[in-house]
Amino acid sequence: MIEQPPTTNIVTHSFANTALVAAAIIGCLSIFVPGMVWRIGRWDVIFVATGVFCCASLATLLSGTLALRRGPRGFRPYAAVVISGLELLFWCFMIFVFVQLLHGGSE
């Protein structure tokens, strides 16, 4: 008889791949989006875009953490967690910067 591999490993690897791809896409966009949004110059667009990317980074961080807890350890879930954690810190910092700039940029 041929043994079938458990489907949980396939699902877990697929989930880890999805988390890693999402983290990579958000990371690549995070390089260019702050400059493009700043050039628009409207504060409502700036804060909405920053909030959307902050929430997307948080969702990717949670999905990477869930992939870590679900199944076998590998490079992909750890990479997704690290990348999305750095993205979340970056976007939280950008919120702080934009709030400071909204209030004049000085102390």
SS3 72: coil
DSSP 8-46: HHHHHHHHHHHHHHHHHHHHHHHHHHHHHHHHH--HHHH
Q: 23-60 pLDDT, tens per residue? A: 999 999 988 988 898 888 888 888 899 999 999 999 99
Q: What is the DSSP letter of 2?
A: P
Question: Does the pLDDT of residue 6 top 60, yes or no?
Answer: no
Domain boundaries, the chain: 22-102
Residue 10 or residue 23, greater confidence: 23
